Amino acid sequence: EVQLVESGGGLVQPGGSLRLSCAASGFTFRNYWMHWIRQAPGKGLEWVANINPDGSGKYYVDSVKGRFTISRDNAKNALYLQMSSLRDEDTAMFYCVKDTEDWGQGALVTVSS
């Protein structure tokens, strides 16, 4: 059974940084594209970033370019999202997603002073 467990969410002040992690199990992690997708409170879904299986290809939505970095450790079956220069509008539930198919339960990031 595929399991994706996000961690690292929390309350951070504007301009601050946070690192999300996603622990993956139940599948051969190194074979799959992985995504971060977010959802602001009461709003729709927004794709944030993805990374190819070996980590050499990374893509971002314009609003996070230069501020967020997606990475993975295939030896640890882990996906990461390093977020810096956080803004109020980054407040959202962040989901780790395997290959558009399987979703984690999400990690809540709240940016507020």
Partner 1 sequence: DVVMTQSPLSLPVTLGQPASISCRSSQSLVHSNGNTYLVWYQQRPGQSPRRLIYRVSNRDSGVPDRFSGSGSGSDFTLKISRVEAEDVGVYYCMQHILWPHTFGQGTKLEIK
Q: Is 99 left (phi over 0), alpha (psi -120 to 50) or beta?
A: left
* AA identity, residue 102: D
Among residues 9, 21, 27, 47, the one that binds partner 1 under rule CB under 8 A: 47
77 binds partner 1 (CB under 8 A): no
Count other Cβ atoms within 10 Å, centred on residue 29.
22
End-to-end, the C-alpha distance of the chain in Å comes to 40
Where does this chain touch partner 1 (CB under 8 A) — which range of 7-15, 20-28, 60-68, 80-88?
60-68
Where does this chain touch partner 1 (CB under 8 A) — which range of 19-27, 68-76, 81-89, 101-109?
101-109
- Smallest distance from partner 1 to CB 32, Å: 13
Q: Classify strands 10-12 and 107-111 as parallel, antiparallel or unpaired.
A: parallel
- Smallest distance from partner 1 to CB 31, Å: 17
Tokens of 100: 């558009």
- Smallest distance from partner 1 to CB 86, Å: 19
Site for partner 1 in 7-36 (CB under 8 A): 35
